[in-house]
Structure 1
């Protein structure tokens, strides 16, 4: 029975179980990074007028012809847009893939005029009622959404909040410029929504606009309430978390080690690297949706490459070519420390019928409805109508300063295993710690005796005894005690004789 209990103890210990402790805190919180992009990545007017962007113009023309089903004998751009698609959405997806491949071949300086500037996208910015500026934002160029601007990304900034509620967060007036003031559309035909693409994430993390971003529509005030949650996980052998994946196993580390080495590791970045590795292996080129090293080249916008990218995406309903499963195919581990934000969104119509839109930018296209703004010629109603189709109000704030923290800890360590071992040993074998030590000592002596073939002296010889002053002292004390004991016995005998002599005299007299 004891052997079975011993087996259970070791089995439980080697399973390395963990406990998760939950703590609730209420304190000042650092404000997350809010990244904002236009849902439309590039200005149509610039693409149509700039000869350097002629291939993108040809792509858009081919897409419009495919949508209208005015199919010529051949595809001038060789994108495969005129082939029959199995599913309706595949045409839109293929056109967006082709656009990403075309843009990846261009130098960013050539593409710059078609991107939206900060002033064109963000008309007004306040944080907790105080005005924020361009210096509070960091520009990134997303391969799908073009120029994006991240609030509070720079490490020199320290925006935080110690009060919850809409008044104590970020407020942005965003103008996506779907139409010019002359009601001329400036959106690409491949852009399906009018609004902004936003992502809320911790500082240093990849915003992943295409995968994790959310759309915010024009003509509305969108209020996003945040609640944060913190996780602290254990490393092996108790858990699987990592601070940063090794270069040998994580493609993300290798492709970002130069320009993105300060980025925080996350599951998403590991998944992106896994997908890029799969793309390079099967298509021979890199997908522009994910970063690459200088030794790799982005896929050229050809039908063959587009077919390859589409096949890699797979079909979720298909058993022969399913979607890639990052959980089983990428071997990605979660980060040891992580902050997540859960969101609750609410919307309201913006602007109201009698609302006066006022900003500092009274001369710009997305400026104030003030009479000084020549874009609307003093027509306030026309200005409000323009904002309904081209503007939106975004507010991001903490719903509460309370947050939960989940911390993993070992639930059965060395001390627990030893305690159980000692308890069962005492129960089943009647052993205590002292007896175990004595048995171990006895076994050690027996082993040493057997190894030395009896050469070990178990008791000292006569010479050792004679030379030991402690033994001599004991012998002297023993002699003194013996002498004292003999003296005591002699005294007792003499006293007995004295007591007997008077009795003898009395007996003699009586006789």
Structure 2
């Protein structure tokens, strides 16, 4: 009786109630699990929405099953190839542009002008000997002195070459001679820039043309304005320049009467020859807040009346990762100017020159001392000029890298320029000169230049031609206005967006294998069944069935009572 209880209790304890495999040996249990997994997979294969799989499973002939297997493999190869093509198209981030016409109030652009003559003749003696030489040296002399053979590879120059290598460029293999300027006009400009950089702001203002002297008339939108509407800036080639403050200036009506109107006295009697070989001014129209690159983007405006009609184009580019534009809102805080590609390239050039040559460049439009402090200007060493020229040429050719891209939002102004002779002599005598004489200092200047008083010009009709000759080709009437209040908006858009990407993947999937989004559920189901089978197999290998232990105990009659007692206690 005790033995029976022992056997019953031990058998009950070792019974496996799962899957009905309690009485099966270990090998039979594994076979049963495999058979059950196979049945599940076959059921999924017969009901799947993926084409071809059901034909393979249900085929009764070997050649039929082989045929469908080959067809399925070929379809999968085509599917994978098509997916790779779709992904390559998507990853290239192709862009297209859209253009539409928009209407609204037009913010007036920045307008910067400079006199083509940087230093007044009356203030020439206040400048350095080198500056006077640069302004007055003849073209013939400069042509003869601009000889690349004068530059030789001296030991000190080798340091220059070595410094290039850390930027990935071997300058020793470069022919330096072809990069040295030989044009006398270019050489003069470089010399003027170099000497201008050595002058402080107060000296530039004192020796250059002042806006209080050259601005005779100012009006915007039909309202009189004065010199307070302009901010002075310095150009290392043209000296004093002046930028229109446009924070509150808007245009609601097109046409020249509703734009900016200026009458400027060029003070041609103060021009230094031969550096200033022609009369006029340098003018650049740019985005408000951006740096006016007068030398790079400016146009020459000669004496007379010049009208400039503007049309604005607003360009909006894609931001990363779809595009490669740059916002760089910190430019205003760091450099006091809005970001532009030109500003980025010149700031990069300043950094490269300082790193390679050990000095600040004198040929950049941006004042390098505002970017990097505690460094000297190039020119103290005889190879400085050659070094900064080679740095700029290497940058322009892409041999040294500057990561500069276009801004994400940019305004571009197209210009329609027309001009004619202005003023006629009668208008000059009876209108322009009296306008000059309204100011006491200017009236005295008329006497000093012509020898005649303002009353003589107003009252006398018998003035000789010599009295008017100093004022010939001396005045500019400038009109800047919008030709229309509408503007073009050009926007970059993704030519191949994520929705098209997913759509093409779905089309390829349906074409080659006939699958859909719901087919993913079937894949998940297969993965779950495989995982369950693997877990069950792993569990059964680690756990020893109790029925085997109970069988061994029942064979020992001497321990039946003890076993019965132990089981009852449990």
Contact 2:136 2:275 (C-alpha < 8 Å) held by counterparts: no
Contact 1:228 1:339 (C-alpha < 8 Å) held by counterparts: yes
Shift of residue 135 of structure 1? 2.0
Contact 2:216 2:436 (C-alpha < 8 Å) held by counterparts: yes
Shift of residue 89 of structure 1? 6.7
1:119 has 2:191 as partner: no
Contact 1:94 1:306 (C-alpha < 8 Å) held by counterparts: no
1 or 2 for the larger relative contact order (CA 8 Å, sep ≥6)? Answer: 2
Which residue number corresponds to residue 249 of structure 1? none
Distance 1:225 1:327, change over 3 A: farther
Counterpart among 74, 82, 93 of residue 16 in structure 1 = 93
1:349 has 2:425 as partner: no
Q: How many residues are matched?
A: 414
Counterpart among 309, 325, 330 of residue 241 in structure 1 = 325
Counterpart among 482, 485, 489 of residue 398 in structure 1 = 482
Cα distance in 1 for partners of 2:487, 2:201 equals 41
Cα distance in 1 for partners of 2:222, 2:399 equals 43
Residue 433 of structure 1 aligns to a residue whose secondary structure is coil
Which residue number corresponds to residue 353 of structure 2? 279
Cα distance in 2 for partners of 1:242, 1:209 equals 23
- Measured against aligned partners, the alpha-carbon deviations of 1:61-92 in whole angstroms (never above 9, x if no partner) come to 5557826989xxxxxxxxxxxxxx99997223
Which residue number corresponds to residue 332 of structure 1? 404
Residue 453 of structure 1 aligns to a residue whose secondary structure is helix
1:160 has 2:250 as partner: yes
Cα distance in 2 for partners of 1:328, 1:69 equals 32
Shift of residue 127 of structure 1? 0.9
Cα distance in 2 for partners of 1:296, 1:284 equals 8
- Normalising to structure 1: TM-score of the pair? 0.72
Residues 285-304 of structure 1 aligned to structure 2 (within 5 Å): 285-288=359-362, 289=364, 290-292=366-368, 293-300=372-379, 304=383
More displaced, 422-431 or 397-406?
Answer: 422-431
Counterpart among 233, 237, 240 of residue 147 in structure 1 = 240
Residues 401-480 of structure 1 aligned to structure 2 (within 5 Å): 401-453=485-537
Shift of residue 29 of structure 1? 0.7
Residues 163-312 of structure 1 aligned to structure 2 (within 5 Å): 163-179=253-269, 185-218=270-303, 220-244=304-328, 258=334, 260-261=335-336, 263-288=337-362, 289=364, 290-292=366-368, 293-300=372-379, 304-309=383-388
Cα distance in 1 for partners of 2:412, 2:515 equals 52
Counterpart among 99, 104, 107 of residue 192 in structure 2 = 99
Which residue number corresponds to residue 362 of structure 1? 437
Shift of residue 196 of structure 1? 0.8
- Normalising to structure 2: TM-score of the pair? 0.65
More displaced, 231-240 or 58-67?
Answer: 58-67
Q: Which runs of 5+ in 2 are unaligned?
A: 1-77, 146-177, 447-451, 541-570
Which residue number corresponds to residue 31 of structure 1? 108
Cα distance in 1 for partners of 2:272, 2:98 equals 50
Aligned Cα RMSD in Å? 3.5
Shift of residue 233 of structure 1? 0.7
Distance 1:275 1:423, change over 3 A: same
Cα distance in 2 for partners of 1:58, 1:86 equals 24
